């Protein structure tokens, strides 16, 4: 069952639309109702066309880029239980009956009771169950720029304990700094340095919640000192390491 619809957006956009990539708690669904959308999930980029849906795990870096004029729905939700495996990522090619369910959910949320609508939650759960019949395999985008992004993210992830420079990353991918920056602006809508920082912060949150000390976390992720790590953590998360862990345990 779905306990909460965290966010809901129906986006009608022109070619070239993009937003700053991000991570958040809770699962997310993206559904393309018209046009073509490139969706970044983790270290890969996938091309979705009208009728395609992607469902992915919490805390996965994701980003959308419209290849054409496009209409899509972005829906974040929380299930009653952890129903998917870690790093879950699944694509679907929806049939017309499931498209009809999406349209009913859309009307219920936008013109009915909003994200608190119980019927919308039940319909969303039904859609997820029914969509198992529409599972569709999809390969990552194989364009030169998509490959650069994939390789760069892999290198960053594998060397998360180091303070990487743009030159280090570009050299590992055998590309120029300009090409590297362009790949991240297209598929993440942010700079390489900002992306590296977000990945480190996500890894830090994961380690802290597993009981790793703040000092050990700082050293493991390549921060110059535990105090500098604490400053960065508070600036990014809006609270101290101690308060963050305390709030998560209480929640």
pLDDT of residue 23: 87
- Under 8 Å CB-to-CB from 55, ≥6 apart: which residues? 27, 28, 29, 84, 88, 89, 90, 92, 128, 131
pLDDT of residue 102: 96
Residues of the chain with pLDDT under 50: none
* pLDDT, tens digit (0-9, with 9 covering 90-100), for 64-76: 999 999 999 999 9
Which residue from 182, 176, 174, 6 is spatially nearest to 78, judged by alpha carbons?
6
CA 183, CA 1: separation in Å to the nearest integer?
A: 38
Architecture (CATH level 2) of domain 144-250? Orthogonal Bundle (1.10)
Domain residue ranges in the chain: 2-134, 144-250
pLDDT of residue 86: 67
CA 70, CA 68: separation in Å to the nearest integer?
A: 6
pLDDT of residue 251: 62
Multiple choice CATH, 2-134, 2.60.120.810, 2.60.120.260, 3.90.79.10, 3.40.1190.20: 2.60.120.810
* pLDDT, tens digit (0-9, with 9 covering 90-100), for 81-96: 776 666 688 999 999 9
Identical topology for domains 2-134 and 144-250: no
pLDDT of residue 37: 96
**pTM for this model (two decimals):** 0.86
* pLDDT, tens digit (0-9, with 9 covering 90-100), for 147-173: 999 999 999 999 999 989 999 999 999
């Amino acid at each position: 069952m779905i306990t909460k619809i965290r966010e809901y957006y129906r986006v009608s956009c022109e070619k070239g639309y993009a937003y700053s990539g991000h991570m958040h708690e809770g699962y997310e669904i993206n559904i393309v109702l018209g046009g073509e959308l490139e969706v970044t999930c983790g270290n890969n980029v996938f091309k979705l066309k009208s009728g395609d849906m992607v469902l992915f795990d919490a805390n996965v870096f994701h980003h959308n880029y419209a290849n054409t004029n496009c209409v899509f729905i972005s829906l974040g939700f929380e299930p009653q239980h952890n129903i998917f495996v870690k790093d879950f990522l699944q694509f679907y090619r929806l049939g017309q009956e499931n498209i009809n369910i999406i349209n009913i959910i859309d009307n219920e949320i936008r013109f009915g009771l909003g994200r608190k609508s119980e019927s919308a939650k039940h319909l969303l759960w039904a859609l997820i169950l029914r969509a198992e019949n529409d599972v569709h395999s999809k390969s990552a985008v194989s364009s030169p720029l998509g490959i650069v992004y994939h390789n760069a993210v892999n290198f960053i992830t594998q060397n998360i304990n180091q303070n990487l420079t743009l030159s280090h990353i570009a050299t590992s991918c055998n590309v120029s700094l300009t090409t590297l920056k362009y790949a991240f602006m297209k598929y993440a809508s942010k700079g390489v340095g900002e992306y590296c920082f977000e990945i480190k912060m996500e890894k830090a949150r994961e380690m802290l919640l597993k009981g790793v000390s703040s000092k050990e976390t700082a050293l493991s992720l390549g921060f110059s000192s535990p105090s500098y790590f604490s400053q960065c953590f508070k600036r990014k998360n809006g609270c101290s390491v101690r308060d963050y862990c305390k709030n998560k345990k209480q929640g």
